[in-house]
């Protein structure tokens, strides 16, 4: 049991649990002795060693799952949760009690899930007619009440959830609420839990006087909630995992032409340092050296001619990462492709493939490529991809599309930036050449005759 608790603490304390060797084991089909340590924390180092010892990431999940069930079982035996009626005898009316029930809240003709916070029992005030308010907070205690995890508000400024509700005046010094009274309704969509799935949530309620801010009564209860959305810890872990996968894809692009250039490797290393070794000021020299070592092994892996299964990597990224992060990954890959000043045909093809597999908007990706990869760098110009032509376009549609592209680049040809001017000149040339295939041969006069005949 102690082992399980220590293990679970390690998992929770480290934010990114990704084992590079796990990536290769899973996707590469080739054993890579190197691991990429993603976060420079002692917890992860130990975890990595432990995982390597037991062999599989899945085992971690199994162990974790067992521990969660165990803790939940213990929590469900707690005497602090109480959903029974006050009159059932199980509620101590001499104290303040609370409960939470999931309800439906209607606002502006829309329905939302909400937590109804009910209280009953006795409230001791300082005097008759005391003006009071109740403060409500929520914590995730799935992993034990000794290690509660805050629930956040789901707003742009993420902060711990805490709601204050005015209760009004208590008529007497001792007020007894004989029935459950709803004092607050909390919209569930306004909350961000730590994790997805079945959670044990502890609600703490504290009644205080408005004058003097003195706490009069306090209560808590625990309830179960099946959170359908990713929690913020899930999101953080997913983000960290995604970053490692991003590095994997970046290396795949770099190695696509069977040539890992130093400029490409440096770019990936710098990106990894900036994005994975969080707060590089805090990262120790030891962490940086570990990262260097892992990179050397990674480079050696590719230089031996090994390849990654980029399809499976992309599948996992699509599961874990929001679309914004996928664009960031593609952005990294584009800069890797351009790092050596030359975009090989294989790199270009792989980039196109990654964009499809990462399920991003094709046109948006094409505009990203346009900005990052100047035309003169391409070994082989995939004219259709560069100009955004698709096989389902009719001649007429293609012609109009090219006209729009021409107009767009024509406006840029007088830009003060010589790089943009040059790119615009080249694009105009390319569009003019491509358009030759789609020029309508029928002169206008014949067109008029045709319409008249119809």
Binding residues (CB under 8 A) for another protein: these are 322-324, 327, 361, 364, 371, 399-400, 402-404, 406-408, 410-417, 420, 428-429, 431-433, 435-436, 439, 443-448
129: its two tokens: 């007619």
The minimum distance between CB 211 and another protein, in angstroms, equals 28
How far apart are alpha carbons 217 and 212 in whole angstroms?
14
120 neighbors 179 (Cβ within 8 angstroms): yes
| Minimum distance of another protein from residue 400's CB (angstroms) | 7
Burial level of 313, CB count in 10 A (0-12/13-18/19+)? buried
Work out how close the CB of 325 gets to another protein at its nearest, in angstroms, rounded to a whole number.
Answer: 9
Q: How far is the CB of 321 from another protein (least distance, A)?
A: 11
Smallest gap from Cβ 451 to another protein, in A, equals 8
What tokens appear for 244 in the block? 């490692």
Task: Please report, for residues 113, 134, 222, 248, 322, the alpha-carbon distance to residue 232 in angstroms, rounded to integers and kept in the order given.
Answer: 19, 27, 20, 24, 13
Whose Cβ is closer to another protein: residue 3's or residue 444's? 444
Answer yes or no: are the C-beta atoms of 33 and 1 closer than 8 Å.
no
Q: Partners of 205 in the beta sheet?
A: 136, 219
CA distance 179 to 118: 9
Q: Which one, 246 or 260, has the nearer CB to another protein? A: 246
Q: How many CA atoms lie within 13 A of 100 on its CB side?
A: 26
**Residue number with CB closer to another protein (162 or 411):** 411
Residue (270 or 437) nearer to another protein, CB = 437
Minimum distance, C-beta of residue 49 to another protein, in the bound complex (Å): 37
Q: How far is the CB of 316 from another protein (least distance, A)?
A: 20
Nearer to another protein, 101 or 410 (CB): 410
CB of 150 to another protein, least distance (A): 22
Find the shortest distance in angstroms from Cβ 339 to another protein: 21
Distance, in Å, from the CA atom of 269 to the CA atom of 246, rounded to the nearest integer, reads 12
Tell me whether residue 2 or residue 414 sits nearer to another protein (CB atom).
Answer: 414
Least separation in angstroms between residue 437's CB and another protein is 12
Tokens of 165: 């509700």
C-beta closer to another protein: residue 101 or 403: 403
User: Which residues on neighbouring strands pair with residue 137, listed in sequence order?
Assistant: 162, 204
For 245-279, the DSSP string reads HHHHHHHHHHTTTT---HHHHHHHHHHHHHHTS-S
CB atoms < 10 A from the CB of 177, how many? 18
Which lies closer to another protein via its Cβ, residue 64 or residue 412? 412
Alpha helices in 358-453 (DSSP H): 362-372, 383-387, 395-410, 418-435, 444-453
Find the DSSP H helices in 276-309: 285-303
Is 55 or 322 the residue whose CB approaches another protein more closely? 322
* 66 vs 400, beta carbon nearer another protein: 400
Instruction: Please return the burial class of 160, using the count of CB atoms within 10 Å of its CB with bins 0-12, 13-18 and 19+.
Output: exposed
């Amino acid at each position: 049991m102690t082992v399980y608790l220590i293990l679970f603490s390690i998992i929770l304390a480290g934010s990114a649990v990704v084992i590079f060797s796990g990536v290769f084991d899973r996707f590469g089909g080739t054993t890579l002795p190197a691991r990429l340590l993603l976060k420079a924390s002692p917890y992860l180092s130990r975890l990595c060693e432990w995982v390597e010892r037991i062999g599989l990431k899945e085992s971690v999940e199994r162990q974790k799952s067992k521990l969660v069930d165990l803790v939940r079982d213990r929590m469900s035996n707690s005497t602090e949760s109480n959903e029974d009626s006050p009159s059932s005898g199980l509620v101590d009316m001499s104290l303040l009690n609370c409960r939470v029930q999931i309800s439906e809240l209607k606002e502006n003709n829309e329905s939302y899930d909400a937590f109804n916070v009910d209280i009953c029992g006795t409230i001791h005030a300082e005097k008759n007619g005391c003006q009071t308010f109740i403060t409500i907070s929520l914590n995730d205690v799935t992993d034990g009440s000794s290690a509660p995890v805050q629930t956040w508000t789901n707003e742009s400024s993420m902060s711990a959830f805490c709601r204050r509700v005015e209760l009004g005046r208590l008529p007497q010094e001792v007020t007894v609420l004989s029935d459950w009274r709803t004092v607050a309704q909390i919209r569930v969509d306004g909350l961000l839990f730590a994790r997805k799935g079945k959670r044990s949530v502890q609600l703490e309620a504290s009644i205080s006087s408005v004058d003097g801010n003195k706490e009069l009564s306090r209560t808590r209860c625990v309830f179960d909630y099946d959170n359908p959305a990713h929690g913020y810890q899930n999101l953080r872990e997913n983000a960290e995992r995604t970053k490692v996968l991003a590095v994997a894809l970046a290396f795949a692009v770099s190695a696509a032409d069977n040539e890992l250039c130093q400029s490409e490797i440096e770019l990936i290393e710098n990106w990894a340092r900036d994005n994975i070794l969080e707060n590089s000021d805090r990262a120790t020299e030891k962490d940086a050296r570990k990262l260097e070592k892992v990179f050397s092994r990674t480079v050696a892996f590719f230089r031996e001619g090994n390849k990654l299964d980029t399809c499976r990597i992309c599948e996992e990224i699509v599961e874990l990462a929001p679309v914004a992060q996928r664009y960031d990954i593609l952005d990294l890959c584009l800069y890797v492709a351009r790092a050596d000043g030359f975009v090989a045909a294989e790199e270009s093809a792989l980039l196109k493939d990654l964009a499809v597999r990462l399920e991003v908007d094709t046109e948006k990706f094409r505009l990203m490529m346009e900005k990052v990869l100047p035309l003169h760098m391409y070994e082989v110009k995939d004219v259709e991809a560069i100009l955004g032509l698709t096989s389902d376009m009719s001649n007429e549609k293609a012609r109009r599309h090219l006209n729009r592209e021409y107009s767009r680049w024509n406006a840029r040809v007088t830009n003060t930036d010589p790089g943009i001017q040059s790119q615009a000149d080249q694009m105009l040339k390319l569009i003019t050449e491509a358009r030759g295939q789609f020029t309508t041969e029928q002169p206008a006069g014949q067109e008029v005759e045709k319409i008249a005949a119809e």
